[in-house]
Amino acid sequence: MQETKKLAQTVKVNPQDNVAIALYDLEAGVRTTENVVTLEKIPQAHKVALKDLHVGDEIIRYGVLLGYANRKIKEGSWINEEMVTLPKMPSLEQMDYDRDYQVALPVAKQGTFAGYENPRGGFAGTRNILAIHTTVQCVSGVLNVAVKKMKQELLPKYPHVDDIVPINHAYGCGVAINAKEAKVPIRSLRNLVHNPNFGGEVMVVALGCEKLTPEMLLEEEDNKSENVIVLQDLPGFEAMIQALMAMAESKLERLNARRRTVLPLDQLCIGMQCGGSDAFSGISANPAAGYAADLLVGAGATVMFSEVTEVRDGVQYLAKRCQSSEVRDKLIGEMAWYDRYLEQGEVDRSANPTPGNKKGGLSNIVEKAMGSIAKSGTAPIAEVLSPGERPRSKGLIYAATPASDIVCGPSQLASGITLQVFMTGRGTPYGLAAAPVIKVCSRNEMKDLWADLIDVNAGAVATGGSTIAEMGGLLFDKIIRVASGEEQSFAEKYQLHNDFCIFNPAPIT
């Protein structure tokens, strides 16, 4: 078995493909798994031509057109991003859904997890956190000092509370608060207040002169004096700290009374995201995550996937999986909105891939998108959400967000996820303060390099040591254990928390 794995040099995803992916750095003269001899050095994760290609010939991977050869490429040669001309985007016109779309989802061996019931109803929490929300960035300095003091003096008294998290952000003032697209950041911040991990408790810190007032941030029943502190109403710094400490303690007392109970998986909502992707992401990590997503959805859970520019070139495949014409129309509407948003900035979806993506073998956004979509599995799409919108359905949900890791995560939190699974090929220490993040890598070398940052290594799928189903089952088990509080992911253990970045497409004044 071990010898067989050593003989594999490349992997071809689809029988129609005319390229293969190098499993390792390959020298010239190596015979690939597809019986092609390399003419030059092929870096790991990059493409090797399986036939002679002429100018204008199609380059196919995943059975999908990645682009066109812009020069003659000999069989056995390295194909990199400079050799591929990007094709046109799929049209959003006449994009139909498959009324007969059905799929047999794999059956999960477990249908429950240990979570925190939500006093407001809806999805349950995977953590018990005191979140302190802000109306404006100006209060962050004072709040951060107070939170440090809270963690030192208050949190040890309440052992059933996992953490105290300040929700600092760059919105709130100096913004066109009535602009059309201001609804996006405002909706995200409003919905975030009720993330299930926050236990129904509301605590807000305002300055007093900002544009995003507590009335705009909170629902009417939450906008009460016991939930809101206005710094400009207090006589100085010490009074501010005392007020924050007193309010926090009252919230901590109630949160500390919560306990985990065994709940059905239909009360679990998780997010799927990928970042620092490489050409293996669509072979190992993302398909394994997609299988885990199918297990979860089949067992009643809700799974969100996102990142508009990383599905735009495969939107026609997602449209076929929409459960109704209404869901399909919402998907098309979100894609069209984002197309216009990029046009206003005089860019298109080709601005997405990073230098690291290209170093990892991804030639363009089409190739990246095909791998990205794999994390959604095969389930029908029950609902499409605008950025930061709360779902009304359960099952597989497409939450339209930017692809930026640090923007996608907060957007999914606003939509109600309580745990995130994050796939990476190149590696990232990304993490969220408000929910645990499970890190899944696409190749063995990444796990070897970052043994104490990567939670699940899907690299064995690429080298033949594991099937997608086996790895997806392992990831499903990991998700249940982390969601139930039996384990911490590395990002949670080390408190690797990215800054909280809210998507704001509206003008800043």
Residue 100: per-residue pLDDT = 87
DSSP state of 314: G
> Mind listing the pLDDT tens digit for each residue in 43-90?
999 999 999 999 999 999 999 999 999 999 999 999 999 999 999 999
The mean pLDDT of 93-119, rounded to a whole number, is: 93
Contact 459, 446 (CB under 8 A): yes
Nearest to 199 by CA among 165, 242, 153: 165
Q: What's the CA gap between 59 and 101, in Å, rounded?
A: 29
Nearest to 132 by CA among 220, 185, 205: 205
The amino acid at residue 92 is: L
> Mind listing the pLDDT tens digit for each residue in 407-439?
999 999 999 999 999 999 999 999 999 999 999
Residue 95: per-residue pLDDT = 87
> Mind listing the pLDDT tens digit for each residue in 217-266?
999 999 999 999 999 999 999 999 999 999 999 999 999 999 999 999 99
* pLDDT classification of 98: cutoffs 50, 70, 90: confident
Label the pairing between strands 204-206 and 129-134.
Answer: parallel
Q: What's the CA gap between 37 and 150, in Å, rounded?
A: 63
> Mind listing the pLDDT tens digit for each residue in 452-484?
999 999 999 999 999 999 999 999 999 999 999
Contact 135, 205 (CB under 8 A): yes
Residue 67: per-residue pLDDT = 96
pTM to 2 decimal places: 0.95
> Mind listing the pLDDT tens digit for each residue in 307-338?
999 999 999 999 999 999 999 999 999 999 99
Residue 7: per-residue pLDDT = 60
